[in-house]
Amino acid sequence: MPANQPDGYLAVPPTGEGRGVLVLHAWWGLNDTIKNLCNRLADSGFVAFAPDLYHGKVANTIPGAEALGKALDANYLQAKAEVAAAATFLVERTGQTDGYITVIGFSLGAYYALDLSVAHPENIRSVVIFYGTGPEDFTKSKAAYLGHFAENDEYEPQANVDGLEEALKKAGRSVTFYTYSGTGHWFFEPDRPQAYNEEAANLAWERTLDFLRRP
């Protein structure tokens, strides 16, 4: 096992073993929603780790989250380094013989998840993103991609989603994107009552588990 666990939240199945899933939080920070997701992944047989990119800070309001997100992006090279270190930790923690893990990113975290798949293709076998986009060049990636997007999203225009899908296909990657009708940004997050859509969230979760369980 690795000597040092990065700042973050680790959830392990009862067996103590499983494929690794790295979870990258939205601009709210490492809140209970992300921790609960890690626990759900562990209950489903995965070793889940969510690095705390804000190092203890959590926002509950949009202005607060916006401030934390902007501060992180202003220091994006450090953020990318911390994400890469978290991925390395998870690879070592799970003892994956092929060195591959999955990364799931939410909104702000989706950008860093997509970037990680390009910067460290030797470690990322699959990527799941929720209402977020990222880089335009995926020629170095070796991953398969699953995306969950909202029909009415003021933070992520459809043009961005279409551009990402086109870039992934152009790079020859396996890509499946779903758009959930009647939903907005944060529809998967139960602590956002103004946006949470239980039916869409459950369907996205089922699709995510199916994707993660592929050989």
Q: Picking from 3-7, 18-22, 146-150, 200-204, which range would have the lowest pLDDT averaged per residue?
A: 3-7
What global pTM score does this model have? 0.96
pLDDT band at 95 (very low <50, low <70, confident <90, very high): confident
Interacting residues of 164 by C-beta distance below 8 A, sequence separation 6+: 114, 133, 134, 136, 147
pLDDT of residue 46: 97
Largest interatomic CA distance in the chain: 46
Q: What percent of the chain has pLDDT over 90?
A: 93
For residues 41 and 101, the answer to whether their CB atoms sit within 8 Å is: no
- Give the residue-averaged pLDDT of 85-108: 92
Structural domains in the chain?
8-212 (3.40.50.1820)
- Give the residue-averaged pLDDT of 39-63: 97
pLDDT band at 197 (very low <50, low <70, confident <90, very high): very high
DSSP calls for 174-193: -EEEEEETT--TTTT-TT-T
pLDDT of residue 200: 98
- Give the residue-averaged pLDDT of 47-58: 97
Is the per-residue pLDDT at 45 higher than 50? yes
Q: What percent of the chain has pLDDT over 70?
A: 99
Cβ of 143: how many Cβ atoms within 10 Å? 23
Is the per-residue pLDDT at 183 higher than 70? yes
Q: If you average pLDDT over every residue of the chain, what do you get? A: 95
Q: Picking from 1-15, 25-39, 79-93, 183-197, which range would have the lowest pLDDT averaged per residue?
A: 1-15
- Give the residue-averaged pLDDT of 179-199: 97
pLDDT of residue 2: 47
Is the per-residue pLDDT at 97 higher than 80? no
pLDDT band at 84 (very low <50, low <70, confident <90, very high): very high
Name the one residue in this structure whose structure tokens are 């929603």. Answer: 33
Is the per-residue pLDDT at 1 higher than 70? no
pLDDT of residue 11: 97
Q: Is 46 helix (H, G, I), strand (E, B) or coil?
A: coil
